[in-house]
Amino acid sequence: MASKVLRYEGEDITIAYDVGRCIHAAECAEGLPAVFDPQRKPWIDPDGARPDRIAVVIHRCPSGALTYERLDGGAGEPIPEENVVRVDEDGPLCLTGDIELKGPDGSLISTETRLTLCRCGHSNNKPFCDNSHKEAGFIDDGSLGQGGVKIAPGLSDSIMSVKLNKNGSFVLAGEFRIEGSDGEEGRGTHAVLCRCGHSNNKPFCDGTHRAVDFVSE
């Protein structure tokens, strides 16, 4: 989980860019090229547009690689009203919401509103996606497997926690909606998701990580 965060301070807003988390979705460059231009050095100009416009575009960054701090007294990033897990075809798990990322021992790693998690098992920046699924030839249609979403007693928290099991799965706890690439949805408060890339019931874990000796770090 390497972290290299570059900061670009402007007059009214500071933009932070976590290099390792970027999956090159290009929402920033396509949405506001006056600020985000990969052909320019430095590629981010925090004074290239009004802070409100910059904030709107940053909210579209699926990986959470881009964040910001308002220096003009403007509002920070709002917490989404709903926790959502989207399963991308042949790609990562895309999460939005009020999210707590937790280590194997349950300790808090970070709080998030947007992140993309590796589910092919090949990322060099686990648990985050780094687009290694493309080189690895990971194939999965992104549909929801059977019986993976549960309603667990006592887990009605509006915060969705994501626990990183060592050499194993992602464990979701708290209210969430999971959406397959075909539009099928499930709602619940507990799910265990595959991150080794080999489950026969994707995106849910079926214990195959043990058979393939998956290593999470």
Q: What is the CATH number of the domain that holds 37?
A: 3.30.70.20
32 with 63, same domain: the answer is: yes
Report the C-alpha gap between 20 and 201 in whole angstroms.
29
Q: Which of 160, 165, 74, 174 is nearest to 111 (CA)?
A: 160
Q: Is residue 75 domain-resident?
A: no
| Six-digit token string for 49 | 């547009």
- Which pLDDT belongs to residue 153? 75
Q: How many domains does the structure of the chain reveal?
A: 2
Q: Which CATH number do you get for residue 132?
A: 3.40.5.90
**Long-range contacts of residues 20-23, Cβ cutoff 8 Å, at least 24 apart:** 20/65, 20/125, 20/128, 20/130, 21/63, 21/64, 21/65, 21/115, 21/116, 21/125, 21/128, 22/63, 22/65, 23/62, 23/63, 23/65, 23/92, 23/116, 23/129, 23/130, 23/131
Q: Is residue 30 domain-resident?
A: yes
Q: Is residue 77 domain-resident?
A: no
- Residue 135 three-state SS: helix
62 with 96, same domain: the answer is: no
Parts of the chain with a pLDDT under 70: 1-2, 154-156
Q: Is residue 78 domain-resident?
A: no
> Which one of 21, 38, 70 terminates a domain?
70
96 with 203, same domain: the answer is: yes
100 with 197, same domain: the answer is: yes
Q: How far is CA 99 from CA 136, 145, 156, 162, in A?
A: 28, 23, 14, 7
65 with 111, same domain: the answer is: no
Q: Which of 101, 8, 98, 4 is nearest to 46 (CA)?
A: 8
Q: Is residue 140 domain-resident?
A: yes
154 with 98, same domain: the answer is: yes
Q: Which of 113, 135, 110 is nearest to 122 (CA)?
A: 135
Q: Is residue 20 domain-resident?
A: yes
Report the C-alpha gap between 105 and 108 in whole angstroms.
9
Q: Is residue 79 domain-resident?
A: no
> Which one of 18, 35, 70 terminates a domain?
70
> Which one of 48, 70, 92 terminates a domain?
70
32 with 103, same domain: the answer is: no
Q: What range does the domain containing 159 cover?
A: 84-211
65 with 92, same domain: the answer is: no
17 with 60, same domain: the answer is: yes
137 with 102, same domain: the answer is: yes
118 with 196, same domain: the answer is: yes
- Which pLDDT belongs to residue 3? 75
115 with 54, same domain: the answer is: no
Decide: pTM greater than 0.85: yes
- Pairing mode, if any, of strands 13-18 and 108-117? unpaired
Helices and strands: H and E segment counts in the chain: 4, 9
Report the C-alpha gap between 119 and 116 in whole angstroms.
9
